[in-house]
Amino acid sequence: MKISVENTSQTVESVSLAQVMVLSIDEDQAGQRLDNFLIARLKGVPRSKIYNVIRKGEVRVNKGRIKPEYKLVAGDSVRVPPIRTAEAGTEAKASNQMMALLAKSVLFEDDGLLVINKPPGLAVHGGSGITLGLIETLRQMRPDAKHLELVHRLDRDTSGCIMIAKKRSYLRHLQAALREKSAGAGGITKVYQALVNGDWSKRTHQVNAPLLKTEVAGGERVVRVHPEGKPSLTEFKVLRRFDGFSLIEARPITGRTHQIRVHAQYAGHSLVGDEKYGNDDVNEVMRGQGIKRLFLHASALSFYLPESEELTHVDAPLPPDLSIPLSKLSAI
């Protein structure tokens, strides 16, 4: 990565965040999201500030405005405005309890990849109002691992399998694989379990409906089925039926924000515990039964590692906060 400073003759070694920087992306940085790239490099800058300057258009890629989720390409030129750094030593520190929990939550590891059974309630990365997420905690746990990056994301309340690349080559390989439809086609298969309201129809094996993401007052993201949305497909299968509920398996073929939740709602069966798209009255009743968060769990991943012809499969059982109340429901 090359760094230049606008309107100054200073060398790279003396560059300060008080000046405009222009970062040139090389092959090693290619494939990362813009927000992750900046968060990893602008040490001491609050994450909320980084997202703010991106939204305002103060960060430019190839002289144009850009979104935080933009995937960097080799040769891109990233302009970073002057940013005030936080005081030294103010970075949030992960608790020993959280680090111990994550150490016990490793489902798979090799030289280039970690698969973690993410606990519910833990954001995958810091952001607005969140000082420390999964990726920041893992970086503190493994200071010698210089290239830890999220391969994909899970909502904060969703538990289960999540991939973290330890090498840039793995990050590029796996993110390219995510664009494939399934592991059988050389891609990645993601499997979720969810508890939904009502008796899921035997005839509903998939929901193919475009999804449009919008922001409402306060910056909250809302996704809905809309003809102008992006093509979105989820496959569904009933695992067990209960009195008033169905435990389903969901396989998102595309990877849209809140896809499983909105497609299930569109099919007439919102997820239990879903405060955004669910049934408030049912959620209140189920909290009394012990289900106190979104009943959505990333239960399995299937993928091919770089230069391997053998399919790797990773499972994560339902955590106790979901499995115990589920066992108390009346099966039919």
Nearest to 177 by CA among 60, 35, 306: 306
- Contacting residues for 301 by C-beta, under 8 A, at least 6 apart: 115, 161, 163, 188, 189, 190, 191, 313, 314
Nearest to 274 by CA among 191, 195, 201, 217: 195
* CA distance linking residue 236 with residue 241, whole number of Å: 14
* CA distance linking residue 251 with residue 314, whole number of Å: 15
- Dihedral sign of CA atoms 223, 228, 233, 239 in order: positive
Based on the residue annotation, tell me whether 76 is a catalytic residue of this protein.
Answer: no
For β-strands 159-165 and 296-304, DSSP reports them as parallel
- Residue written as token pair 């909320």: 48
* CA distance linking residue 281 with residue 242, whole number of Å: 18
> How would you classify residue 310: left for phi > 0, otherwise alpha for psi between -120 and 50, otherwise beta?
beta
Q: In the numeric block, which tokens belong to residue 55?
A: 């939204």
Catalytic residue among 28, 155, 157, 199: 155
* CA distance linking residue 166 with residue 308, whole number of Å: 17
Please give the single-letter amino acid code of residue 133.
Answer: G
Helix (H) or strand (E) holding 259: helix 259-266
- Catalytic residues, by residue number, are 155
